[in-house]
Amino acid sequence: MLIQFNFKNFKSFRDEAILDLSAAKMTEFSDRVVSEGNEKILPMAAIYGANASGKSNIYNAFEYMADYVIESFKYGDEEEKFEEYRPTPFLFDSISGNAESSFEIYFTISGDKTEKTYNYGFCVDRHGVTEEWLNSKAKTARKFKSVFYRSIEENTLDLSGLPKSSRENIQVALEKQVLIVSLGAKLKVNKCKDIRDWFLANEFADFGDPFTNFFLSRRLPKGFVDDDSVQKKVIEYFASFDEHIKDFEIERVPHDTETKEETYKISALHKKIDSDEFAAIPLGMESAGTLKMFALYPELQDVLEKGSVFFIDELNARLHPLLVRNFLLTFLNPEINTNHAQLIFTTHDTWQLSNQLLRRDEVWFTEKDGQGISKLYSLADFVDESGARIRKDESYEKNYLIGKYGAIPTLKSIDIFKEG
């Protein structure tokens, strides 16, 4: 489970931003808090904020970290490849553009019976990796122990926490653009592979991106084509929000002679109102909301099975608020979410901003100041003008919309259409 994600000097976030999923000491919804090792962890984080305040950049930062961990072993010493993949720093001052960007997480690994806590991070600038570290802490320990540490500035490479048999191979093959975790996983070093696999298990969906919407709506659930039981589960899933779809009809399309990929024509079966027959409607003709829920199913299935993180940008887009709430309750119900999967999402849907649904430490806000610098803060840490913290019985939605918590757009009258 993700305990905390920190990043710095990435896009609109010049200073360090901390997204903390460790549970604060509060009484509401205590049954959903998960205990792993010595940590108490939340299953959800909802991120609110005005347009262009930086919400999507948190999503981008976490996705960048995951992609770099998974893919960096491919870059070798090729400057051109790396140039395309270096992070975008904060560009609105004269220093940050040339400074390193940093990414760090604290987490536990699903299925780890020892319940160790890990701390992994790296810094990267326009030339490559400047620093990288992996620490671990046993369930009964108070302090983290180093697994490896690397620093270009200090000219240090300490691999003492890795098996002796793998240290020389890593030293020989390690390039400045490549992460130890990425290379070590490729070389089948178990400690590195465990970290890489944690990132691999997480899922991302950016519903503000038209290309993502197009791709996801055509991704089929695992086993959907050949397994009747999977199809039945998808029907049950659809029944939670649209009872009109009774079944699916799947037709194999001949192989593409160039790609040789298997493709399928999928139709949703709707019962006719005046007979027991069904009307077959091509899935692409269903509503945007139905297609989005179909797109969400494979990732939802995976993260619930693996106990991993599902990060969604603009979850509310094209979905009714009640449907969004039903989706959230899947993660918040310990009887359904038995493997402790987590959902982190950005949204403008204030109907979910309720003390009947979310804990104060599950609500986050982004705000951008006059210099273009974004900041991230939690409702649990928010202090009002009188110095008081937010009470759990407050109307979060109402107070947010009137500006009590900040993170809302500053509006002016659109008077450009006034007649002379």
Q: Is the pLDDT of residue 294 over 90?
A: no
How much is the pLDDT for 399? 92
- Which amino acid type is present at position 122? F
Determine the pLDDT at residue 3.
Answer: 98
What residue ranges define each of the domains in the chain, with the CATH number in brackets? Answer: 1-202+308-408 (3.40.50), 221-298 (no CATH)
| pLDDT surpasses 70 at 417 | no
Reported confidence tier of residue 116, pLDDT bands at 50, 70, 90: very high
Tokens representing 230 are: 């999977």
What would the mean pLDDT of 361-369 be, rounded to a whole number?
96
pLDDT of residue 73: 87
SS3 content of the chain, % helix, strand, coil (to 5): 30, 25, 45
Q: Quick one: which of 387, 377, 412, 382 has its CA closest to 399?
A: 382
Using H for helix, E for strand and C for coil, what is the string for 108-156?
A: ECCCCCCCCEEEEEEEECCCCEEEEEEEEECCCCCCCEEEEEEECCCCE
Q: How confident is the model at residue 77 (pLDDT cuts 50, 70, 90)?
A: low
Tell me: pLDDT of 61 over 80: yes
Hunting for tokens 């030293």 — which residue is that? 171
Q: Are 371 and 96 in contact (CB under 8 A)?
A: no
Digit-coded pLDDT (tens) for 6-59: 999 999 999 999 999 999 999 999 999 999 988 999 999 999 999 999 999 999
Q: Which among 254, 288, 285 is positioned nearest to 267, based on CA atoms?
A: 285
Worst-scoring range by mean pLDDT, 62-66, 269-273, 355-359? Answer: 269-273
The Cα-based distances of 412 to 6, 294, 370, 373, 416 in angstroms read: 34, 39, 16, 21, 11
What confidence category does residue 210 fall into, taking pLDDT thresholds of 50, 70 and 90? low
Give 43-98 as a DSSP string: SEEEEEE-TTSSHHHHHHHHHHHHHHHHHGGGTTT-HHHHHHHS-----SSTTGGG
Q: Which residues pair with 56 in a beta bridge?
A: none
Average pLDDT over residues 354-358: 96
Highest mean pLDDT among 73-87, 115-129, 381-395: 115-129
Kindly list the distances between the CA atom of residue 205 and the CA atoms of 202, 228, 287, in Å, as whole numbers in the listed order: 10, 27, 19
Handedness of CA 401, 404, 410, 411 (dihedral sign): positive
Gap between the Cα atoms of 167 and 345, Å rounded: 39
Instruction: Confirm if 287 and 317 have CB atoms less than 8 A apart.
Output: no
> What is the H or E stretch that residue 171 is in?
helix 164-173
Task: Give this prediction's pTM.
Answer: 0.91
